[in-house]
Amino acid sequence: MSYELTGKLVAKYDTVQRTETFKTREFAVEKTDEIGGRTITNYAKFQCIQDKTTIIDKVNIGDEIKVHFNIKGTKWEKDGKTNYITNLDAWRIEQILQPGADAPAKAAIDNDYLEPLDTFTSASPDAIDDLPF
């Protein structure tokens, strides 16, 4: 099952080569919610593994991002004690652009109303009859 979380990137760490064939990379996201007039801030640390360790390269600290991830859990036993480990494994990151920030300039025609072109009944020379029959 896949999950999503949107928040601000607050930390990203170097890739760690765990074994000859396994590497990981971690990053942290700040998630702020308004609940009952109060602001609640939480932090979630994610990990990327193997070929996904580079997905964090395209975003910068402070960017608003959407993280797509899976929850993975492991049971670990040592010296008669049992421990449970939960990982948030990120597999995709999207940068969320804020309105007006780095948004492409609107074309001049956005302010004009353009009538839809009816290609079936239009007498306009711009109407194209592209039907094969």
Model pLDDT, residue 1: 78
User: What span, in angstroms and rounded, lies between the C-alpha atoms of 18 and 9?
Assistant: 24
Model pLDDT, residue 103: 47
Domain ranges of the chain: 2-111
Please give the structure tokens belonging to residue 28.
């942290």
Structural contact between residues 41 and 30, judged by C-beta atoms closer than 8 angstroms: yes
Per-residue pLDDT of the chain (133 residues; tens, 9 = 90+): 799 999 999 999 999 999 999 999 999 999 999 988 999 999 999 999 999 999 999 999 999 999 999 999 999 999 999 999 999 999 999 998 876 654 444 333 333 344 444 444 545 555 555 555 5
Model pLDDT, residue 128: 53
Positive/negative CA dihedral, 66, 16, 88, 52: positive
Count helices and strands in the chain by DSSP H and E runs: 0, 6
Model pLDDT, residue 132: 57
Pick from 48, 40, 50, 41: nearest CA to 12? 48
- The verdict on domain 2-111 having CATH code 3.40.30.10 is no
